[in-house]
Structure 1
Amino acid sequence: MPLLTIRHLTEYRYRQPVSFGEHRIMMRPRESFDQRLIEAKLEIDPEPRELRWLHDVLGNSVAIALFDRRARSLRVMSEVTMDHAPLAQGEVDVEDYARLFPFTYSSEDMPDLLRSIERQHHDPLRIVDNWARGFVNDHGATDTIGLLTDMATRIKRDFTYVPRQEKGTQTPIETLNLRQGTCRDFAVLMIEAVRALGFAARFVSGYVYNPSASEGRVGGGNTHAWVRIFLPGSGWVEFDPTNGIIGNRGLIRVAIARDPYQAIPLSGTWSGFPSSFLDMHLDVSVRVAGSDAMPAPLHGAINSRFAGSTGSA
């Protein structure tokens, strides 16, 4: 079980002091049987007058910061030490009734899965539907794990990963047409594609790291995005279409959501002159105990949002 230290720093700078409204911070990894937090600290400068924690509707840990001081910068740094128990593709077990596609979720699970099966993007010409159906065998049984694995690895193989610092996500149709995108674009495409086939799927935001020197990962140096799909027998299973990963090896969950806008690491408002904003700096590092190796120096898609009185910064 690897011991990891994760450091996530976001800093905004301004030409003159500005005031800050409420901020929501989602940088604390979710605790579970495969993710055990040993130590976690959150440092904010300027120091907020009030900091409180809550669990949102999907159980994500959210810190709410309120400020009463003006400043030329806002610096938020999360540092976590944790145990991580990787699950490999071969360890994914599926109930007999769900091993072949199509199948129907049990009556006990279906009421809680419906919103995760519900489509989020319009597809009037059935472009995403037809692409998804291309992974189904029309002349015999289709292996469920094989179908999902093929989709994740096909995105990695056929689509070009292109970092994009602008906020927002491409629609699945845009990603299919462009054949390129960020990790969050690929995650949204796969979510919509598997939902078109009746699977329950959720968006995941978190961190990616290289478990060993021989295993490269795209998306290091930043937050990362991938997909969780509910499979009877194993529950929610990770699929990372950017790296072609099945299982959680090299992936640390922070936020789980039906839609990317629910999983923003840092969001809030500021008030000042429109020209006040200078720049933003974002850095994420994951260190494996006993290894000097850091994540590959690749740039992921910035997920932080910082909306001010003059619009998005």
Structure 2
Amino acid sequence: MNGPRCLTVRHKSVYRYSEPVSFGEHRMMFRPRSSHDLRLVSSELRIVPTPERLHWMHDVFDNSVAIATFSEEASELVFDSSVTLEHYEAPMPEYAIEPYAATWPFVYTNDEASELVNARSRRHPDADVDKWAQSFIAHGRDTSTMTLLRDMTAEIKEQFLYARRTEKGVYRPADTLSFRSGSCRDFAVLMIDAVRSLGLAARFVSGYIFVPDHDATSGGGSTHAWLQIFLPGAGWVDFDPTNSIIGNQHLIRVAVAWDQHQALPLWGTWTGAPASFRGLEVDVSVTEDGC
């Protein structure tokens, strides 16, 4: 693994209303997950109006969640997060997959299987997704697990059209397959469902992506989404089908979950006339600095 790259992530979300409204509880997942390949150097969170109470918790996935409650009405609600981190990248990772899992199909051990039930459970099974997933299986010879997953990741990057969407929710996997287009979260959910149809364990990842100058990487300027697949011996391996990235290069993990609705970067409630909502502006920048 190379030496660290020092990155600063600035994530600002602004809700605007035509008149003062009241705010319910808001939950934020802005703080990256510290690990052997990411070290958090500093973190600052500014919220306007100032919450009556702000506290932190770890959810069931050990994601860091900030929870704000408000007593003041306002016509604008601002969440401004800034974090600096050291990011250790493996540009061409080689994974020590257990020999029994190097070729598909394989069977997880009993201990692994019992822990991975939710990571293998499909939410929207569909025959078209099954057929598409099976198209990556080699015929007449052994199917390398990593080759299968690399080919599927590359197929989405090369054959699907990336379209940034700001509205909530994701397409059903079969719809993304039919449209041959979608956002990063649509692509992640499609690939999660496809690999689960093949018996593999996968989970959704929400975070950020560093886009170097003059780079063709998609997903910059907003939060990003990809997936991880559990491969015995290698553990949870990152796959970004939006950019055909395997490994953590440029990827900054914030939250992991079995499904996308469990890893929303920001969600909350407000009370007021429905017509008073003017819109949401989200700006994300990831820059390389000195720590």
TM over 0.5: yes
1:234 Cα offset (Å): 1.3
Aligned-partner SS, 1:151: helix
Determine what percentage of the aligned residue pairs are the same residue.
52
Within 5 A, what are the aligned runs for 1:251-266? 251-266=251-266
Q: Aligned equivalents of 1:162 and 1:66: distance in 2?
A: 34
Tell whether 2:81 aligns with 1:56: no
| Corresponding position of 1:95 | 98
Report deviation, 1:251: 0.4
Instruction: State the distance in 2 between where 1:213 and 1:46 align.
Output: 35
For 1:90 and 1:248, the matched residues in 2 are separated by: 9
Distance 1:80 1:107 in 2: 40
CA distance in 2, matches of 1:177, 1:9: 33
Equivalent residue number for residue 228 of structure 2: 228
After superposition, residues 295-310 of structure 1 pair within 5 angstroms as none
Where does residue 11 of structure 1 map in the other structure? 14
**Consecutive aligned runs of 4 or more in structure 1 exceeding 6 Å deviation:** none
Paired residue for 1:65? 68
- What RMSD in Å do the two structures reach over aligned CA positions? 1.1
Partner of residue 219, structure 1: 219
**Rounded Cα–Cα distance in structure 2 between residues aligned with 1:99 and 1:132:** 18
Deviation at residue 215 of structure 1 after TM alignment: 4.2
Counterpart in 2 of 1:302?
A: none
Name the SS of the counterpart of 1:184 in structure 2. Answer: helix
Shift of 1:195: 0.3
Instruction: Please tell me the residue identity of whatever aligns with 2:258.
Output: R
User: Secondary structure, in 3 states, of the residue corresponding to 1:109?
Assistant: helix
Report the equivalent of 2:88: 85
Gaps of 5+ in 2: none
Match of 1:29 among 27, 32, 41: 32
Amino acid at match of 2:59: D
In structure 1, what is the equivalent of residue 200 of structure 2?
199
Letter in 2 for 1:122: P
What does 1:271-286 align with in structure 2 at a 5 Å threshold? 271-286=271-286
Q: CA deviation at 1:155?
A: 0.5
Find the aligned partners of 1:69 and 1:194 in 2 and give their Cα distance. Answer: 46
Q: CA deviation at 1:279?
A: 1.7
Which of 38, 43, 46 aligns to 1:43? It is 46
Q: Which residues in structure 2 correspond to 1:41-190 (within 5 Å)?
A: 41-123=44-126, 126-190=127-191
User: 1:70-103, CA deviations, whole angstroms, 9 ceiling, x for partnerless residues?
Assistant: 1111000110010111123432221111111111
**1:100 touches 1:142 (CA, 8 Å); kept in 2?**
yes
Give the Cα separation in 1 of the matches to 2:159 and 2:216.
18
> 1:7-43 deviations in whole A, cap 9, x for unaligned?
0000011111111001111111111111110101111
1:149, CA displacement in angstroms? Answer: 0.4
**Gapped runs of 5+ residues in structure 1?**
291-313
For 1:232, the aligned partner's letter is P
Amino acid at match of 1:118: S
Distance in 2 (CA, whole Å) between partners of 1:282 and 1:105 is 41
TM-fit CA distance, 1:120? 1.1
SS at match of 1:256: strand
Contact kept in structure 1, 2:125 and 2:193, CA below 8 Å: no
Over 3 Å counting, the alpha-carbon distance change for 1:168 and 1:40 in structure 2 is same
